[in-house]
Amino acid sequence: MRFAFIMLFIFACINVSFAQNLSPVGRNGALKVQDGKVVNQQGVAPQLRGVSLSWSVWQGQKYYNPGVVSWLASDFKASVLRAAMAVQPDGGYLQQPDEQQKMITNIVGEAVRDGIYVLIDWHDHNADQHVSDSKEFFKQMAKKYAGVPNVIYEIWNEPTKTDWKTVKAYALQIIPVIRKYDKNNLIVVGSAHWDQDVDITAADPIAGFNNIAYSFHFYASDPYHQDALRARADKAIKLGLPLMITEWGVGEANGNGNFNLAKTQTWLKWMEDNQLSWANWNITDKHETTAILQKDAPIYGGWSEANLTPAGLYIRNVLRALNK
Sequential DSSP letters for 15-45: HHHHHHHHSHHHHH-S-EEETTEEE-TTSS-
Question: In the predicted model, is pLDDT for residue 246 greater than 80?
Answer: yes
Query: Beta strand 32-34 with 37-39: parallel, antiparallel or unpaired?
Result: antiparallel
158 noted as active-site residue? yes
pLDDT in tens, 159-193: 998 999 999 999 999 999 999 999 999 999 999 99
Read off φ and ψ for residue 287, nearest 5 degrees. -80, 85
236-262 mean pLDDT: 99
pLDDT tens column, 71-95: 999 999 999 999 999 999 999 999 9
Average pLDDT over residues 54-72: 99
Catalytic residue among 99, 110, 154, 158: 158
Confidence of residue 260 (pLDDT cuts 50, 70, 90): very high
CB 120 within 8 A of CB 64: no
Would you call 288 a catalytic residue per the annotation?
A: no
Q: What does the alpha-carbon distance between residue 207 and residue 215 come to, in Å, rounded to a whole number?
A: 16
Can you give the pTM of this predicted structure?
0.94
Catalytic residue (one of 110, 154, 247, 288): 247
Q: Which CATH architecture has domain 2-322?
A: Alpha-Beta Barrel (3.20)
